[in-house]
Structure 1
Amino acid sequence: MERLINIDNGGTLTDIVVGSGTDFTFTKTLTTPVDLSQCLFDAMTKASTQLFGEPNLAELLHSTRHIRYSSTQGTNALVERKGPLIGLITDDPELAATLRATEKSAGLFDDLIGGRIAVVSTTGSLDELASELVLEINRLTTAGAERLVVAASSLEREHLYKRTMLKNFPRHLLGSVPILFSREFASDTSRDRQIWSGILNSFLHPTVERFLYSAEHRLRAYKVKNPLLIYRNDGASSRVAKSVALKTYSSGPRGGLEGTRALAEAYGLTNVLMIDVGGTTTDVGVVNDATISVDRRGSIQGVDISYEMSNVHSTGVGGSSIIAVHDGAITVGPESVGAAPGPACFGFGGTQATITDVNLLLGVLDPETYLNGEMALDAERSRAVITRTVAEPLGITLEEALVRMEETYSQRLAQSFAGLVLPTGETTLAAFGGGGPMSACSAAQIAGVHHVLVPRLAAVFSAYGISFSDIAQTYETDVTGFTPEAIEAAKQTMTADAGRDMFQEGHELSACDLDWKDICEDGSEILSLTATFRLPHPTLTGGSPADATVAVASGTRQVRSGADQIDTVSVYQLDEQAPGAAAAGPAIVEGPFFTARVPLGWSLKISTAGDLQLTDIR
């Protein structure tokens, strides 16, 4: 039996879904930020235990066709500005001003590059150029630049700089400070997009590189024949050697969007907003008429890049986002406690409050059943941290602090998607990720959304969404002004490139689908080729039984709804409910690795597939 393993590596938790046909096994494990390959292998070992009754990683790997991996590490690194210092070398004295043209791009430029920019002369001899480059590279590295991006006025000049650098710097020294040449990195009609692509890729690359080398090395020890595949932000997968770091940015959310599109088709929904609430960020995207909103040239943090991206935006609000007091007001994120030390209630030494700590003390979370009972939560640690960092600075009671923190968090979450809600009332909110179901209804109320859909696999839904990906590579050539003969020659070159790359992916080009497109962009004619090798995809079932039954509660829980009010609410185990089971809020629904809070005025119903359908009935 050939299996497909999908891994979604988050800042706090790592999700795994193992599928073969219509059967899926899934679990979660804590992310290990010091060595990301460790949590990957931890997750696969846990999944093997579910499949075989005991840990047997070797058998799982040898019965697996592909391992597809996505990570939010790049997204989180950029949100938190945790990455290498970048130096920029150019011959354009106006480049810094051009790249800082907007408020967002100026902020990003200042955080990633700052004053580490060198402008070299376009005149002078080769010896003078060599001396100038040596001087400027030494200056930039002395100023802390750990990676360099070269953005010259022409491809020829970038090649000249490259030859000069290789000649005048020892290879072992130059290799210790990686250099990216922007015109070689991205083919684009826009210089600004090319340069920003180079800068962002250089910033993201170390985060991805360390994990991938370690993971591939460990997989080789198991004599795994099929290579590790990287899931990309364009919805396709490819070998590590055939991917670039920039295409891993926001790749996890693209998996969530693919799953959301499958949900929209299964349930016949016109407009669906996904909110994927992870540990560090909430990722928001739109599926309209079963189509994922895609930008041919994506944007990241307010700057345009050279590559296609799904139209997803990330906000620094998640289950591990720090909730603190600044200037007398409660704030949420963008800083996160991550998996280490994690929320205070994890007991790993965390000293900052998070929404996980809040929901534990509100009574929404059961300390004994969190993560399917695999991690016991410590309420006393949460109480001490929230009292010290929020209640006492504001001069309020712990109970009032909890309510205000939950309200602030819901407002921040609602702000992340409110601008995308249709005024017609057609919008459905698909809530997933470990923290999505917990706060979805409260945020939906604020944003004016009346329908929330929580898939049964909500806790690992982005990993599940990777199941809809294929192996693909895309090529583009600017053929503006080309003769028919030159265009045909370009096609032959692109086809040859595709044949070589897909062979290295493990597949003959004759087994792939070839999609040719003519694209008009910025007055130029672009010839595009996408070569795709199809992999098996799952099928989702939608709808719900016509006849509703009464949901069966497994118990009750005391949940605080106000500073002076505690409600006794029913608790429902999602997997114990029959399709069509229904109930009214307030309630708590516990699913596999997630907890959903159903407020007063909302109803719940279990779909045919076991998904949770929530409706505002006020």
Structure 2
Amino acid sequence: MAFQINIDNGGTLTDVCIMSDDGVTKTKVLTTPYDLSKCFFEGLQKASEVVYGASDVKRLLEEVDLIRYSTTQGTNAICERKGPKLGLILATGAEDLPAQLAAHDAEVWAALVGDRVGFVETDALETPEAEVEIVRTINQLTAAGANRLVICFTGEGFLKAEERVKQIVLRKYPRHLLGAVPVLYASDLTVDRNPDRRAWSALINSFLHPSMEAFLFQAENRLREYRTKNPLLIFRNDGDASRVAKTVAIKTYSSGPRGGMEGVKAFSALYGFRDAVSIDVGGTTTDIGQCTEGKVAEIRRGHVEGISVSFPLCEIISAGAGGSSVFKVKDGKIVIGPDSVGALPGPACFGRGGKEATITDASLLAGLFDPASYFGGGMGLDAGRAEAAIRTNIAEPLGVDLETAVTMMADAFEAKVADELHRFTTISPDTVMMAFGGAGPLLACGVAEKAGITRVAMPAMAAVFSAYGIGACDVSQRYAVTLPENTTAALVTAREALAQKAARDMFAEGFEAGSYTVAARLVTDTTEGEVVHELAEGEGFPADLAKAGAVELEFVATKSLRQGETRSVAVTRKTRAEAAAMREVLVAGQGRTELPVYRLNGMAAGDWARGPAILEEDYFTALIPAGWTLTVSEAGDVILDREE
């Protein structure tokens, strides 16, 4: 049996999606932040139990065709400001640049760099005094607490200047010595001539690199021990994948949410949604995106926490509100996130030592969760601990009773996500909201009401939708160089060099020349905006760009693995569903009320029901308020409509 495994590693839970000839199945494990390779292999173990009925990781890894991996760890690290302390070395004369960089996001700048900035005289790099100056600057920054350095020069000669410093640093701080300092030269990462973007790209990459490197290489080495036939593929935030050794850290930022957006794009095509906004609610963040007319919003110079960087990124915004986000009272109001209790200790109701209040605790006390079936029945929930956390952190500071506090927490959560939707997407009467992630469906209808949306879609694979979405990504390698002059000769030389580099890298990915496609384009910035010229095979330098400023050649090699989806799915109400059980639930304005519980696993295509009700699946729960009707589609997904 041919099958693939997709793993999406989140801050609280790690999702596993198994795709085979027999269909799609799923499972989840708790994320182990102290050692991500542990939850990675626990996920593979549970996947083997799903496939074979018993744990057999060795057999699984012998038979699996592809293992794809995406993560929100980069997103969470930036959101929570957790990572190494960086030092930044700039050229003398660029003293205004730190203030420019801080202006993009003062809080992120303070967390990553702060005052750890040094300057060197680039005009004197060929003099004997240059080595002394560079050593002095590095020692000054490391003494100030920097444990990784970024070197980013500006001006026409930045490439040559950074190369000269690289030679000096390698000689003075050889890598085999314990005193070696990890250094990233911005020009090794990007040739973008915009100093702000290039510096921020290098800083963010350096910030994310240590944790990603440690985990991914450890995971890959363990896979090699099992003699896995294909390398681990890392899903990137550009929508494609590559092996670990060919992936840079910044391209793992928001890769998990980008997987979800690939799923949104496919789902929209199936159902004919022309405009879909998405809320992907995990443990630490709610990732928000939009897909319009079958296209996911992506820009060539993407944004990380609102900071413009040199790489194309899908326009996904991560709000600090998830199932494990910490609720506090500040100035008499409930404040959510950005701190998260993560998987350890987790929400108070997990019974692992957590004492902070989360929406997971509130949902348990509201009666939305059944402790016996939560997390597929694999985790007990402690209502007493949840009550203590909410009384201490919310009810008592606000001077309200427990049930009022629980209701206020749900209302605050819905309002925050709805506000973020309005901030970062455009909502029209035709907009459909897709809700996924482990906590996405939970209060989705309430979020939609507050956002003015009347239709919500919950995929059957909602709980692992990002893992599901990465299942058809291509393998690619992307390159960019600045042409030394605007001539055909310079273009041909650069294109041939990149083609050779692509051939080596794609061979390392396991693909021979001729088995993948290549494409090239020229990009330049003008006063009217960005100009892009797609290059045909053998085409010379275009005459209309002859007088342009700096022109970049972008080159991509792609091995296509995607399969086009041409079918469409109908949503038709046929049979009124029968409730599987009744449950006492705290309903705002009504107190505790008996509500019917519908279990998605026991419902057929065409089954429908009206709220108020609870909808359950092994790994997600949804509150269906009054005025909403749910219908199970032909594909087993859930479509909810607001009916006045």
**TM tier, smaller:** over 0.9
The match for 1:348 is: 352
- Deviation (angstroms), 1:8: 0.2
Give the counterpart of 1:530 among 533, 550, 556: 556
How far, CA to CA, are the matches of 2:122 and 2:491 in structure 1? 34
How far, CA to CA, are the matches of 1:197 and 1:584 in structure 2? 49
The match for 1:162 is: 166
Equivalences for residues 479-490 of structure 1 within 5 A: 479=483, 481-490=485-494
AA paired with 1:193? R
Give the counterpart of 1:592 among 618, 631, 635: 618
Give the counterpart of 2:640 among 611, 614, 617: 614
Unaligned runs of 5+ in 2: 527-548
Specify whether residues 149 and 458 from structure 1 end up closer, same or farther in structure 2 by C-alpha distance, changes over 3 A only.
same
- Deviation (angstroms), 1:284: 0.8
The match for 2:592 is: 566
How far, CA to CA, are the matches of 2:428 and 2:142 in structure 1? 55
Partner SS for 1:19 = strand
The match for 2:147 is: 146
Specify whether residues 179 and 69 from structure 1 end up closer, same or farther in structure 2 by C-alpha distance, changes over 3 A only.
same
- Deviation (angstroms), 1:479: 3.3
Alignment check: 8 A CA contact 2:348 2:386 kept: yes
Q: How many residues align?
A: 618
Residue deviations 1:528-574, cap 9 Å, x none?
A: 22211122548586533545210121011111113661121110011
Q: CA RMSD in A?
A: 1.8
Partner SS for 1:416 = helix
How far, CA to CA, are the matches of 1:461 and 1:394 in structure 2? 37
Specify whether residues 46 and 64 from structure 1 end up closer, same or farther in structure 2 by C-alpha distance, changes over 3 A only.
same
Alignment check: 8 A CA contact 1:271 1:428 kept: yes
The match for 1:284 is: 288
Partner SS for 2:640 = strand
Partner SS for 2:60 = helix
- Deviation (angstroms), 1:150: 0.6
Partner SS for 1:600 = coil
Unaligned runs of 5+ in 1: none
AA paired with 2:632? I
Residue deviations 1:363-405, cap 9 Å, x none?
A: 1111111111111111111001111111111211111111111
**Which segment drifts farther, 114-123 or 301-310?**
114-123
The match for 2:537 is: none
AA paired with 2:119? V
**Which segment drifts farther, 518-527 or 367-376?**
518-527
How far, CA to CA, are the matches of 2:96 and 2:184 in structure 1? 17
How far, CA to CA, are the matches of 1:503 and 1:4 in structure 2? 22
Equivalences for residues 476-515 of structure 1 within 5 A: 476-479=480-483, 481-515=485-519
Does 2:302 correspond to 1:298? yes
**Which segment drifts farther, 542-551 or 293-302?**
542-551
Alignment check: 8 A CA contact 1:544 1:580 kept: no
Alignment check: 8 A CA contact 1:358 1:402 kept: yes
Partner SS for 1:126 = coil
AA paired with 1:345? C
The match for 1:329 is: 333
How far, CA to CA, are the matches of 2:565 and 2:321 in structure 1? 32
Give the counterpart of 1:401 among 397, 402, 405: 405
How far, CA to CA, are the matches of 1:175 and 1:9 in structure 2? 33
**Which segment drifts farther, 6-15 or 590-599?**
590-599
- Deviation (angstroms), 1:56: 0.8
How far, CA to CA, are the matches of 2:387 and 2:572 in structure 1? 45
- Deviation (angstroms), 1:516: 2.6
How far, CA to CA, are the matches of 2:7 and 2:367 in structure 1? 31
The match for 2:121 is: 121
Equivalences for residues 457-468 of structure 1 within 5 A: 457-468=461-472
Residue deviations 1:198-235, cap 9 Å, x none?
A: 00000011121111121012112111131111100000
Residue deviations 1:15-55, cap 9 Å, x none?
A: 01111246112100000111101101101111111111110
Partner SS for 1:509 = coil
How far, CA to CA, are the matches of 1:468 and 1:281 in structure 2? 25
- Deviation (angstroms), 1:415: 1.5
Alignment check: 8 A CA contact 2:8 2:15 kept: yes
Residue deviations 1:385-429, cap 9 Å, x none?
A: 111111111211111111111111111111221235545411000
Specify whether residues 580 and 540 from structure 1 end up closer, same or farther in structure 2 by C-alpha distance, changes over 3 A only.
farther
The match for 1:13 is: 13
The match for 1:197 is: 201
Partner SS for 2:443 = helix
Partner SS for 1:521 = strand
Alignment check: 8 A CA contact 2:484 2:490 kept: no
The match for 2:364 is: 360
Give the counterpart of 1:443 among 431, 447, 453: 447
* TM-score (structure 2 length as normaliser): 0.93
- Deviation (angstroms), 1:156: 1.6
- Deviation (angstroms), 1:527: 2.6
AA paired with 1:574? L
Alignment check: 8 A CA contact 2:101 2:109 kept: no
How far, CA to CA, are the matches of 1:342 and 1:251 in structure 2? 23
Specify whether residues 422 and 132 from structure 1 end up closer, same or farther in structure 2 by C-alpha distance, changes over 3 A only.
closer
Equivalences for residues 63-142 of structure 1 within 5 A: 63-95=63-95, 97=97, 100=100, 103-122=103-122, 124=124, 126-142=127-143
- Deviation (angstroms), 1:87: 0.2
Does 2:214 correspond to 1:210? yes
Give the counterpart of 1:517 among 508, 512, 521: 521
**Which segment drifts farther, 366-375 or 340-349?**
366-375
Specify whether residues 420 and 87 from structure 1 end up closer, same or farther in structure 2 by C-alpha distance, changes over 3 A only.
closer
Alignment check: 8 A CA contact 2:275 2:290 kept: yes
* TM-score (structure 1 length as normaliser): 0.97
- Deviation (angstroms), 1:70: 0.8
**Which segment drifts farther, 98-107 or 297-306?**
98-107
Specify whether residues 404 and 103 from structure 1 end up closer, same or farther in structure 2 by C-alpha distance, changes over 3 A only.
farther
How far, CA to CA, are the matches of 2:395 and 2:600 in structure 1? 35
Specify whether residues 347 and 255 from structure 1 end up closer, same or farther in structure 2 by C-alpha distance, changes over 3 A only.
same
Partner SS for 2:456 = strand
How far, CA to CA, are the matches of 1:299 and 1:454 in structure 2? 28
How far, CA to CA, are the matches of 2:441 and 2:506 in structure 1? 40
The match for 1:605 is: 631
AA paired with 1:90? L
How far, CA to CA, are the matches of 1:22 and 1:48 in structure 2? 15
How far, CA to CA, are the matches of 2:583 and 2:560 in structure 1? 47
The match for 2:46 is: 46
